[in-house]
Amino acid sequence: MRFFLEDVAAVDDEVTLSPSDSRHLSRALRRTVGDKITVVSANRVFEAELTQVGDTVRARLLAELAAYSEAPLNLILLQGLAKGERMEIVIQKAVELGVSRIVPLALERSVIRLTGDKAEAKRARWQKIADAAAKQCGRTRLVEIAPVQGLAEALAALPPDCRVLMPWEEADGHTVGVALSEALAEAAPAACAVIIGPEGGLAAAEAELAAARGARLVTLGKRILRTETAAIAVLSIVMYQWGDLNGREV
């Protein structure tokens, strides 16, 4: 498990872990002074030795480790709001698969509606889930959970030259619809965004909006997948083809 620092640090520095990480180390993991842990600072990974354990945990950075674990592809997930644990499962697995950012989308057919304080409370919970997943799976950076927003706003905020893929069950009957395998046969981009609809699927107007902004409407075959299944499946395929899930050196 890795522990992330907010400040930039270097070998021989003595650092203070966050209150939540301090509690986890001292109470749940029951670590003691002298134990070794792995710490991440500004995408750099260090071996550290605990020098103080209690309500506040401090550690001295002993050596930098060659342990960079980020994919070459800047993969962004635009996920339609899903009920309960479905959204949490998607966030956890997306972080494990290597996404760089997750944007919760309020779409026409979303069953759940989030605004104001309720939306921010959910975002904070999702961020904790994303942070825990990043620590557990060995990421060298944390994954941001963006505020809940609409599709147009999310598309406008994507990086320049970002390839956008939208799986849609009606894509095979659309003039710009292609199979996912066809879209992925193209050269790998620097950035890619995947749009996944909610439980009720994507509305035609949303598909048209995405297509007008340059998204590729893609088909996943004859079966209709649940939102959490679609997210995990598509992210895995994209990261295999354009990222580092294939085991190739990058």
Of the residues 26, 48, 65, the one at which a domain ends: 65
Q: Are residues 232 and 208 in the same domain?
A: yes
CA 217/CA 171 separation, integer angstroms? 6
Mean per-residue pLDDT for 3-29?
A: 89
Q: Provide the token pair at 127.
A: 């961020």
Range of the domain at 58: 2-65
Q: Provide the token pair at 37.
A: 């842990």
pLDDT tens digits, residue range 183-240? Answer: 788 888 999 999 999 988 999 999 999 999 999 898 887 888 999 999 999 999 999 9
Q: Are residues 48 and 79 in the same domain?
A: no
Q: What integer pLDDT is reported at residue 81 of this predicted model?
A: 94
Average pLDDT in the chain = 89
Q: What integer pLDDT is reported at residue 176 of this predicted model?
A: 47
Residue 85 amino acid letter: E
pLDDT tens digits, residue range 47-60? Answer: 999 999 999 999 99
Of the residues 29, 48, 65, the one at which a domain ends: 65
| pTM for the model | 0.84
Q: What percent of the chain has pLDDT over 90?
A: 56
pLDDT tens digits, residue range 96-136? Answer: 999 999 999 999 998 888 788 888 999 999 999 999 999 88
Answer whether residue 163 shows pLDDT above 50.
Answer: yes
Q: What is the CATH number of the domain that holds 28?
A: 2.40.240.20
Q: Are residues 82 and 58 in the same domain?
A: no
Considering only residues 178 and 103, tell me which one the structure prediction assigns the higher pLDDT.
Answer: 103
Check the CA dihedral 152-142-9-243 and report its sign: negative
Q: Are residues 121 and 154 in the same domain?
A: yes
Q: Is 103 helix (H, G, I), strand (E, B) or coil?
A: strand
Residue with tokens 């134990």: 35
Bridge partners (DSSP) of residue 14 are 60
Q: Are residues 107 and 27 in the same domain?
A: no
Q: What percent of the chain has pLDDT over 70?
A: 94
Q: Are residues 92 and 178 in the same domain?
A: yes
Q: What integer pLDDT is reported at residue 95 of this predicted model?
A: 97
